[in-house]
Structure 1
Amino acid sequence: MGERQKQLLKLLRGSKPGLSVDELSKGLEITRNAVRQHLAALEVAGLVGTGASRPSGGGRPQQLYVLTELGKEMAPRQYSWLAQLVLASVRREAGIDMGKRMTEIGANVAHQIRSQYPGLSTHKEKVEKLTEVMDQLGYSARNATVSGGESIIEADNCVFHSMAKKDLAICHLDRGLMGTFTDSDVEHHECMAQGGNVCRFKLKSKEE
């Protein structure tokens, strides 16, 4: 798969309703004909399909393109296999609180990663670095700061998606990771495993 096709899949991953040829052309900075050629190849591969049509300003409705289930699975999930092993191990322990244990595991991961960045001091720096780390891990993450010292991290790709659909306790690993890395209280406002467009977390600094 070429870089353009990877970029096209990433754009579609960030838009659950789908994107039109014009929107993909603008996002990729290539011609509409080139977009159509890439879409045709990705459709043959079973990675992209046609979604709904969207009315355009008085003209012919725009056809939207979306990721297929196979296309969604093409997203990088660099350590979901490890989480499956962890879950299997935890489930063998009698009387375990899965949510609490996942939070503890996420916190331990955060301590290990934070040790690589000793210079982080402000909440903003911690959130920005965490977003960068999560993006490298395959979350396709981005962040924004809102009023009151709170930050939002959104992820277009849940690295534990298949597992989280079966057991939402796995989401506590993310919360443990994010809360410990950024010294924040974390609220999970939207979840892809529950039908959301993104995984959205609000982080409020404990130091303020």
Structure 2
Amino acid sequence: MTRTDQTAGEQPRRQALLEVLRTSDTPLGVTQLADRLRIHPNTVRFHLDALVRDALIDRRLEQPTGPGRPRTVYTPHPGMDRGGQRQYHLLAKILLGQLSTDPDAGGAAEAAGRTWGGHLVDQVAPTRQPGVAEATHRLTAMMTDLGFAPEPEGDPAERIRLRHCPFLELAEEYSSTLCPLHLGLMRGALTAIRAPITATSLEPFAERDACIAHLSPTRAHPPQTANRSA
């Protein structure tokens, strides 16, 4: 049995413990929980420890009403249940659908990407400016962290192959909005680190297995040429 299978098998019992605690008017101890669920106290302790680690329940010592050691009791952690499914894909689809109704959806998406690109890239000290190689490295590091599997091509890099899209299904449906956002991420990152290059364009699905981002020197930093004697 794999660890994933084992964890999945433990979930019903932990959910049962949670339900008992949530429906109880008073905190409950291990023995009470074991009696109600008809399982061994050691099994109860194991699952309670996991629920405490996941911040789903709270553990505390109950003040004794007579002689003896204080009893450890458990209560559900206040707040909404953090278990269950997430629907982030649906949320992204709703937001992209709404954004795509904007007359300049691509421009709005790129502007949002620029803001986040400047925030996500590894910054450089304000007293210096990175060269082309360092700027490309910082850009590809950011895109790697985001899951794009970038491959710079050329020396210096003139384009970057993006071999994986972390939003592939959404990009196939909303490429006119999502792809400008990706381009904005790259432009924002390069602007934030004062790079001597910029991302000029992004070709969605330019190859069967990749999108292509094109890079070029900024106007303020034209490519250097070797000095030639007269």
Q: Structure 2-normalised TM-score?
A: 0.46
Q: Give the counterpart of 1:111 among 102, 106, 118.
A: 118
- 1:157 matched residue in structure 2: 164
Q: How does 1:178-197 map to 2 (within 5 A)?
A: 178-183=186-191, 184-189=198-203, 191-192=204-205, 196-197=208-209
Give 1:89 shift. Answer: 4.6
The structure-2 alpha-carbon separation of the partners of 1:104 and 1:140, relative to structure 1 and needing over 3 Å to count, comes to same
Report the secondary structure of 1:100's partner residue.
helix
Q: Relative to structure 1, is the Cα distance of residues 196 and 88 closer, same or farther in structure 2, using a 3 angstrom cutoff? A: same
Between structure 1 and structure 2, the one with the greater Rg is: 2
Query: Does the C-alpha gap of structure 1 residues 86 and 155 become closer, same or farther in structure 2, counting only changes over 3 Å?
Result: same
1:200 aligns with 2:217: no
Contact 2:96–2:174, Cα closer than 8 Å, also in 1: no
Matched-pair contact (CA < 8 Å) for 2:136–2:157: no
Query: Given that residues 139 and 158 in structure 1 are in contact (C-alpha distance below 8 angstroms), is that contact kept between their aligned partners in structure 2?
Result: yes
Please, which runs of 5 or more residues in structure 1 have no aligned partner? 3-78
Aligned to 1:8: none
Cα distance change, pair 151–195 in 1 and its aligned pair in 2 (3 A)? closer
Counterpart amino acid of residue 212 in structure 2:
R
Question: Residues 187 and 95 from structure 1, CA distance in 2 versus in 1: closer, same or farther, beyond 3 angstroms?
Answer: closer
State, as a whole percentage, how many aligned pairs show the same letter. Answer: 19
Q: Give the unaligned 5+ runs of structure 2.
A: 3-87, 192-197, 223-230
Q: Distance in 1 between matches of 2:216 and 2:91?
A: 29
Q: 2:181 maps to what in 1?
A: 173
Q: Distance in 2 between matches of 1:109 and 1:202?
A: 20
**Structure with higher helix content:** 1
Aligned residues of 1:138 and 1:157 also touching (Cα < 8 A):
yes
Whether 1:131 aligns to 2:140 is yes
SS of corresponding position for 1:162 = helix
- Call closer, same or farther: CA 1:135–1:80 in 2, change over 3 Å: farther
Map Cα deviations across residues 21-44 of structure 1 (whole Å, 9 max, x no partner): xxxxxxxxxxxxxxxxxxxxxxxx
Superposed structure 1 runs of 4+ greater than 4 Å apart:
79-83
Q: 1:153 to 1:162 in 2, by over 3 A?
A: same
Note the C-alpha offset of 1:124.
2.2
SS of 1:103's equivalent?
Answer: helix
Q: Secondary structure at the match of 1:117?
A: coil
